[in-house]
Structure 1
């Protein structure tokens, strides 16, 4: 199979690519990046794109499975509007182009609490993206909703503190629903999800993959 990945240079995206490269089910992997970022590999192709002109690269988006892992923070983006552009608009356009090119299996990294009507900006953004991607009508759409994502060597103070607090609470049996997930584990969850046979929309949460021991 051929996989397409957007957000491949992010902490989770890198793990998705690593697991794809290790998985014999995937013979070709195309990653869409702003600049060359990966070591040469016989099954990996880097497609350097301008995300403001993503339509120009539509012919490169022909494959079997697409993974959408793109994301930033308000701090890094500079504003809510800029974050929305990256987290919502770029990913939705990628999904549309993949659908047009015949991709039938789409895997979207979202977030626990995604709700199109939420008063919280981040949850509303993720919820509206989910709804828009659903409306495209992929034969198979998997939405993965982790709680806190634990990134190695994270320099995000709030993320680090939240992770430590959650770990302590989880140890005494509290807030299991919101257990943090390492990027390594999340990358595997996303790749494994792409191989589960189902049609229509499937939502996988932190509870689901922890319960199944994945």
Structure 2
């Protein structure tokens, strides 16, 4: 299985990359990055590119993939609506357009989030944008899935690029075992997300297309 990975430097992407490198069925991982990851592995190849609004210059390097795992995302806090929409919607749709070109059997997994608004009409801006992104992906000629995790626990040293997220996880990591028992519908881990992505890539478009934390965890066990 050849996998294209966006967002490999983020907390979720780090977990997904780890799962891919450990999975024997994954033969190659192409990480699309803006700067080097600082790690090497026999199956890993980095493709550096700076304009994620236009991936045409690297399209040839991304062709022939079996799956694309899109873990690239940001918080809406402190960002303009235009910037958030560009990163969340425009960049994601551009990745799907380029990687799926001529490849209707591609599995594309998008990391969305709990609270995403599929109606695109709610009051919360970020939820509408994620809903619009999900809807556009699900309408494309490929096997698209949207993961909607709630609380994501890093379990193998993955770290968020956002400073206040890192602090939050440091202060609340002790809650994870309790949350898993009391609210499993809203809790998963970086490890489960990575394994679940590989699992849905084997489904050939079957099963539910929008998965929440408990479904992700079951697939990723």
Q: Tell me, yes or no, whether TM beats 0.5.
A: yes
- Whether the aligned pair in 2 keeps the contact of 1:142 and 1:194 (CA below 8 Å) is no
Deviation at 1:4, TM superposition (A): 0.5
Taking the aligned partners of 2:14 and 2:220, their CA distance within structure 1 comes to 22
Matching residue within 189, 192, 197 for 2:199: 192
Structure 2: state its 5+ residue gaps.
none
Residue 19 of structure 1: SS of its match in structure 2? Answer: helix
Taking the aligned partners of 1:171 and 1:5, their CA distance within structure 2 comes to 28
- Whether the aligned pair in 2 keeps the contact of 1:9 and 1:37 (CA below 8 Å) is yes
**Structure 1, residues 32-69: CA drift from partner, whole Å, max 9, x if none?**
00011142222111000122432221112211111111
Distance 1:65 1:43, change over 3 A: same
Taking the aligned partners of 1:184 and 1:172, their CA distance within structure 2 comes to 18
Structure 1: state its 5+ residue gaps.
none
The list of structure 1 runs, each at least 4 consecutive aligned residues, that deviate by more than 6 angstroms after superposition, is none
Instruction: Give the TM-score of the pair, scaled to structure 2.
Output: 0.81
Taking the aligned partners of 2:210 and 2:21, their CA distance within structure 1 comes to 24
Counterpart of 1:82 in structure 2 is: 83
Matching residue within 151, 170, 175 for 1:148: 151
Counterpart of 1:130 in structure 2 is: 134
Counterpart of 2:17 in structure 1 is: 17
Q: Which moved more, 1:145-154 or 1:30-39?
A: 145-154
Counterpart of 1:183 in structure 2 is: 190
- Whether the aligned pair in 1 keeps the contact of 2:76 and 2:126 (CA below 8 Å) is no
- Whether the aligned pair in 2 keeps the contact of 1:36 and 1:46 (CA below 8 Å) is yes
- Whether the aligned pair in 2 keeps the contact of 1:141 and 1:201 (CA below 8 Å) is no
Instruction: Say how many residue pairs are matched.
Output: 210
